[in-house]
Amino acid sequence: MTERIDAEQVREIVRIAEEAGLAELEVATPALTVRVRRAVDGGPRAAAGEVAAATSGGTAPALDTALPAAAANHLEPLVAPMVGTFYRAATPDAPPFVSEGDYVTEGQVVCIIEAMKLFNEIQAERAGRVARVLVENASPVEYGQPLFLIDPTARRD
């Protein structure tokens, strides 16, 4: 059984990897795994990315898609330190810890990840402006999954 690949979702994953300046990003669901990998060796594919998609039932055809070089990109991902459920706020009726455009300081709580009924406060690893929130509230997250893109070059207003 082969799962259809949503090209728009693949484009979004490629865009996230590009914005974060990541060499590799893998997103997995129970039915589908998408891995985006940038070539960095200067070879003929150095300016393009390689996207491989696989279903849980086997391997689907590989997709090649352009991934422009992001050498000038300075956004850094803040990644999930554990598997769990991502929450943007302490309670459902509370405002989010941070929103896009907010300036965060090192050690500031930016979200909560619930794992095995424990609520773990996730802190910013460095100061900067939140450029992008990458995960929907109450969504499951994997270890190492990018949660936010932070611009460490931004200055506090």
pLDDT at 32: 65
Below-70 pLDDT ranges, the chain: 1-7, 29-32, 37-73
Provide the pLDDT for residue 65: 32
Q: Which fold has domain 76-151?
A: OB fold (Dihydrolipoamide Acetyltransferase, E2P) (2.40.50)
E strand or H helix that includes residue 9:
helix 7-20
First to last CA, the chain: 53
Unique residue bearing structure tokens 């669901």:
29
* Interatomic CA distance for residues 71 and 93, integer angstroms: 40
3-state secondary structure (DSSP) of residue 20: helix
SS3 80: coil
Using one digit for the tens of pLDDT, what is the confidence trace for 45-65?
A: 333 333 444 433 434 333 333
The ranges of the chain annotated as CATH 2.40.50.100 are 76-151
